[in-house]
Amino acid sequence: DIQMTQSPSSLSASVGDRVTITCRASQSISNYLNWYQQEPRKAPKLLIYGAFSLQSGVPSRFSGSGSGTDFTLTISSLQPEDFATYYCQQTDSTPYTFGQGTKLEIK
């Protein structure tokens, strides 16, 4: 199975900050990497698919990059509604594993 490792596991930041979350795959996954946002007690929401494609309706302050084994999610200017937990997921091969999550908290 492909292991996905996110860093950091938690992060404190302020409204307006630029934030980057990293996801590393244990082997190459081409660009089959997706990012999700999950607010407490809610279902996850797809933000980025195919490593860098912005899902419809997602604000342009979210962006994704990377290929192979190293990927990043960047939020260019944090908004109050962005404080949530973020997960990466590889869909290169089954089982489609998720990272352990990055909890983004208000500083």
Partner 1 sequence: EVQLMESGGDLVQPGGSLRLSCAASGFTFSNYNMNWVRQAPGKGLEWLSYIGSASSTIFYADSVKGRFTISRDNGKNSLFLQMNSLRDEDTAVYYCARALQGYRYGRGGMDVWGQGTTVTVSS
Binding site for partner 1 (CB under 8 A): 1, 32, 34, 36, 38, 42-46, 49-50, 55, 87, 89, 91-92, 94-101
- Report the residue number, 10 or 77, with the smaller CB distance to partner 1: 10
Tokens of 28: 């190459």
| Short-list 63, 30, 33, CA closest to 50 | 33
- Report the residue number, 20 or 38, with the smaller CB distance to partner 1: 38
Strands 4-7 and 19-25: antiparallel
- Report the residue number, 72 or 98, with the smaller CB distance to partner 1: 98
